[in-house]
Structure 1
Amino acid sequence: MKILLYTQYFPPESNAPANRWAGFVKCLRDRGHKITVLTSFPNHPLGKIFDGYKNQWRLVEQNKGVKIIRSWTYVSSAKGFLPRIMNYLSFAFSSFFNSLSEKNNDIIIASMPPLTVGLVGKIISRRFKKPLIIDLRDLWPEAAQSTGYLKSSNIFHRFLYSISKRKAQSVYDYARVILINSPALKEELICSYGVSSDKIYFIPNGVDLDLFANNSVMAEKIIEEKYQLKNKFVVLYSGLVGFAQNVELIVRTANLAKENKDIVFLIMGTGPKLPEVKNMIELMELKNVVLTGFRPRQEIPIFIKKADVCLVTYKNDVTFTKNIPSKIFDYLAGAKPIIINLEGAASEIILEAGAGLVVPPDDPWALYEIIMKLYRDAVLKDKLGFNGQTYALNHYDQKIIARKLEQILEEIVGEIKF
């Protein structure tokens, strides 16, 4: 098959959609499919073009047999409604024109959010008369409202929310198939948007197990020395430091643990809330919190290997109960116990795997007590980690999941009628 993947985020970015599709692209390429990725210049989450790139109208790369077309995108380090909308719209505009040379693909996959990718994907699909697959990771605009980008108190935002719901409906109705990364999204699509259940397929993120099989001992020692982790009990958070992730809870928990010199809280990632997190650390005069900033995808397994406990935190909002963050699969594969602060689709996986524990949404004392429980009980800690790794090997090998994705795509391409 010739596949056009349309996504605003792709490596070297290392957020959830980039990691999800980096793995699937690799697997599909290895199975003989020709893949073109239509994406932006890497800039997420800081709103700054990555070193080695220059923002321009079009750049074509070849990466291990995958054609990558990068399109000009408005980028800004300013955080707020207007810069984000300009980022989405500029990419939608430039990527549409850069798609016009890519008419010889068999199928189009558009990864949402943002909604603009789905809308332009629909236009490209109609223009080239090729089936459109929507890869839905979050409901939008619902997620935008939950994170505070769209405010219900703002009349214009309410208008935009209403328009966006109708546009999302048109994309869901048009798509041949909708892929979801969380089973909870299926009920929402059926109940809120009237999507037929037979066009919805659950394709979890999974994990690239090869990443965890090729760790360098030397790299591990370098990280240990750089961040002074030797002989420490490391509590790791990996991922976006954003409005949804409630990383502030981790800092408040670290404040409770600051008298214990053995415990270090390692926050790996960056994002719009990082300045606030840094300010909290300074005000509390915490010496037990280490910020690594952005780290490339290939280093994540090394950090996880150095960790004793891994965290998944969210704001207490019903929207996030439907999410299954990709970091969970990395934690499972790395054989580390997981503590999550929100009941929902993600906690169900963790509990089913016997890989971790759930604490109340915004209770630093509860989180602190569970961390201390695992600190004192190495047998329990190791058992939870072993359970998680076994579960990941049996259920979330990305190569196996990619074969299921491949079967879905081949079935659609094999249909005579478009």
Structure 2
Amino acid sequence: MKELMIITSYFPPEIGAASNRIYHLANGLKQDYKVRVVTPLPNYPTGKIFSEYRGKIKSKSIENEIEINRIWLYASKSKNKFLRLFAMLSYSVSLMWFFIWNKIPNKVIVQSPPLLVAFTCVLFLRSKKRKLVLNVSDLWPSAGFELGALKKNFSYKVLKKLEHFNYKNADLILGQSNEILTHIKKITVQPELFLYRNYPDIMVADLTENDSKGEKLKIVYAGLLGVAQGVLKLCQNLTYEGIELHMYGSGAEEHEIESFINTNNELPICFYGRVDREKLHDELQKYDVAIIPLLNRIYGSVPSKIFEYAKLGLPMLYFGGGEGETIIQNHNFGWVAEAGNYGHLNSIIKSINKTELNIEFKREIQTKAYENFDYLAQMNRLRERL
């Protein structure tokens, strides 16, 4: 069987859209390829190596017929940009060592961002004999600038050069949004481009009527508690009249969110921490609406929660702008609030009528999801390109 390698900075048991996306990609390709994944020792989003891997320099295992090679890095979730840079450099050095001592197949998929890691892979693995595929999920460094994490200084210019180098030296680029592909076309026309959405491969949820009529509107957030999501600011700016906010997840803002909840314990906010993905799918059925926030509108970003929640039949309130907003509106998956406008968000929440959140509406959402977000059909199209 032909071999294919996937190089990524995130992979289960780590949580979040990035690890789920790459897992589904690897799982979908194992029918045609012997898939090998190269990834760091699990550390995200805690910034600490998970306990079962602590003290190891590397780990190799076969999981679900996929070979997983976990290699060392300096794990950190520090806000110090030098420590973050050192963490990325450590993984890049580990990758170079891995490339020296291991046979690399003729097809390699590289996850980007992180840009520096992707640059290392493209620089060392580009070859006329090898098909190099770049899986672009966010447009760094421009996304970092929009988030306020980067300034347009010398470092930003260096990152732009790395970005352009990566795109120009790839043979095929997978972009998770049309905005990403449009951006890449402005830089280079050399690689093939393929729209690869983050469709989840999940079983059809058994939908049931929510019997909480007459009670408060139960809003749920589930996912990373990072800077990009802006969940702390969301907690601080919601008007809590007639609603409850329930949250699942972990990340950089977790302790600040817990502190806010403890300081404002009169507010109807419940935080449950991190839970297993399958359990989370069951938990989500308890709620009326799932909120999908972004701190700022990020060009190119389409939260994969949209596709997952749609397949679960869960109505959504989208608060992030861009292409994600268009998907929600075009498919009538719920409501859209103007990105960054908390007054408009609270107005939209107040306008939601719980009687609309019936089983028929949920089934309509789910039906549209399975008609339009077909994981297997997309995977078949990707196989043809590879």
Fold shared per TM-score above 0.5: yes
For the pair 1:349 / 2:349, whether they are aligned, the reply is: no
C-alpha displacement of 1:186: 1.4
Select which of 300, 322, 329 maps to 2:280: 300
| Structure 2 segments unaligned to the other structure (5+ residues) | 209-214
For the pair 1:159 / 2:154, whether they are aligned, the reply is: yes
C-alpha displacement of 1:397: 2.6
- TM alignment of 1:16-31, pairs within 5 A: 16-29=17-30, 31=31
Structure 2 residue aligned with 1:224: none
CA shift digits 1:231-266 (9 cap, x unpaired): 874311112111111213431354x22x54xx4311
- TM alignment of 1:301-340, pairs within 5 A: 301-317=281-297, 320-340=298-318
Change (3 A) 1:76 1:316: closer
- TM alignment of 1:161-176, pairs within 5 A: 161-176=156-171
- Does the CA-based 8 Å contact 1:55-1:73 persist in structure 2? no
Change (3 A) 1:56 1:145: farther
Structure 2 residue aligned with 1:412: none
Q: How far apart in 1 are the matches of 2:358 and 2:230?
A: 24
Select which of 190, 202, 206 maps to 1:209: 202
For the pair 1:71 / 2:71, whether they are aligned, the reply is: yes
C-alpha displacement of 1:142: 1.3
Select which of 366, 382, 386 maps to 2:344: 366
Q: How many pairs are equivalent?
A: 379
With normalisation by structure 1, the TM-score equals 0.84
- Does the CA-based 8 Å contact 1:354-1:384 persist in structure 2? no
Change (3 A) 1:213 1:99: farther
Identity %: 27
- TM alignment of 1:238-257, pairs within 5 A: 238-254=222-238, 256-257=239-240
Change (3 A) 1:124 1:189: same
- Does the CA-based 8 Å contact 1:322-1:346 persist in structure 2? no
C-alpha displacement of 1:275: 2.6
Structure 2 residue aligned with 1:84: 84
Structure 1 residue aligned with 2:188: 194
C-alpha displacement of 1:32: 3.8
- Does the CA-based 8 Å contact 1:356-1:384 persist in structure 2? no
- Between 269-278 and 11-20, the greater mean CA deviation after superposition: 269-278
Q: How far apart in 1 are the matches of 2:195 and 2:271?
A: 34
Q: How far apart in 2 are the matches of 1:350 and 1:195?
A: 30
C-alpha displacement of 1:406: 1.3
Change (3 A) 1:195 1:84: farther
Change (3 A) 1:400 1:304: farther
Change (3 A) 1:131 1:275: same
Tell me the secondary structure at the aligned position of residue 241 of structure 1: coil
Tell me the secondary structure at the aligned position of residue 126 of structure 2: helix
**What amino acid maps onto 1:119 in structure 2?**
F
- Does the CA-based 8 Å contact 1:249-1:362 persist in structure 2? no
For the pair 1:379 / 2:356, whether they are aligned, the reply is: yes
**What amino acid maps onto 1:172 in structure 2?**
Y
Structure 2 residue aligned with 1:149: 149
Change (3 A) 1:65 1:178: same
For the pair 1:11 / 2:12, whether they are aligned, the reply is: yes
Change (3 A) 1:251 1:172: same
C-alpha displacement of 1:300: 2.9
| Structure 1 segments unaligned to the other structure (5+ residues) | 153-157, 218-230, 410-418
With normalisation by structure 2, the TM-score equals 0.90
- TM alignment of 1:382-393, pairs within 5 A: 382-393=359-370
C-alpha displacement of 1:94: 0.5
C-alpha displacement of 1:9: 0.3
**What amino acid maps onto 1:392 in structure 2?**
A
- Does the CA-based 8 Å contact 1:23-1:398 persist in structure 2? no
C-alpha displacement of 1:110: 0.2
CA shift digits 1:278-312 (9 cap, x unpaired): 33333333441122222233333123222210111
Q: How far apart in 1 are the matches of 2:102 and 2:382?
A: 22
Q: How far apart in 2 are the matches of 1:160 and 1:112?
A: 18
C-alpha displacement of 1:93: 0.7
**What amino acid maps onto 1:329 in structure 2?**
F
Change (3 A) 1:43 1:342: same
Tell me the secondary structure at the aligned position of residue 245 of structure 1: coil
CA shift digits 1:8-38 (9 cap, x unpaired): 1000111222111111211222x24210000
- Between 306-315 and 143-152, the greater mean CA deviation after superposition: 143-152
For the pair 1:52 / 2:83, whether they are aligned, the reply is: no
